[in-house]
């Protein structure tokens, strides 16, 4: 499914848009799942549906926020339960560079790395696992994660909306 199909589906079914945004955001912020599903691109497509007027932005933002909180929190608790052993599993050997980058970012920046982890695509799958594995305190994690998830859930679909608005302006300007 590409972003044009998602946009068309949401235009025809705007009542399910928050649930779609939530599922996409959860998939994007859940360890291992985010590797296989291009959810960020699809959420940009959801934002493009907002620019057509087919869907309101607020439900998209709220759905994506809840999904991002759920996915990243699940990954955090997964890391907390299984620790570094999970990140050092032989099947993750091909992601060793990303894991080491995330470790360096996390060691240097702590909670800020957690916030930035939402916005750094290659590190997103492991930064929440690493926060849990490093035994970051739960309440501060949840607080920073909620703010970061809401910020990310705003920025990604909003970029699609802005792109759709810009494209619409070009089409009207050039008479297309």
Name the average pLDDT for the chain.
83
Confidence of residue 165 (pLDDT cuts 50, 70, 90): low
pTM: 0.82
Question: Which residues have CB under 8 Å from 36's CB, separation 6+?
Answer: none
Q: How far apart are CA 144 and CA 57, in angstroms?
A: 23
- Please report, for the chain, the start and end positions of each structural domain, with discontinuous segments joined by +: 3-173
At 32-57, the pLDDT tens digits run 887 787 777 778 878 777 877 888 88
Q: How far apart are CA 41 and CA 47, in angstroms?
A: 10
């Amino acid at each position: 499914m590409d972003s044009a199909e998602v946009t068309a589906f949401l235009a025809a079914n705007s009542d399910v848009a928050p649930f779609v945004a939530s599922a996409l955001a959860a998939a994007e912020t859940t360890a291992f799942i985010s590797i296989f599903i291009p959810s960020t691109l699809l959420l940009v497509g959801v934002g493009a549906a907002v620019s057509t007027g087919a869907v309101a932005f607020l439900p998209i933002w709220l759905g994506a926020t809840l999904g991002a909180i759920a996915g990243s929190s699940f990954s955090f608790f997964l890391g907390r339960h299984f620790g570094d052993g999970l990140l050092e599993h032989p099947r993750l050997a091909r992601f060793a560079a990303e894991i080491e980058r995330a470790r360096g970012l996390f060691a240097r920046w702590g909670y800020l790395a957690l916030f930035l982890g939402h916005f750094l695509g290659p590190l997103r799958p492991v930064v929440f696992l690493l926060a849990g594995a490093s035994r970051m305190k739960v309440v501060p994690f949840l607080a920073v994660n909620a703010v970061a998830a809401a910020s990310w859930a705003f920025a990604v679909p909003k970029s699609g909306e802005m792109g759709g608005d810009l494209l619409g302006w070009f089409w009207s300007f050039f008479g297309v």
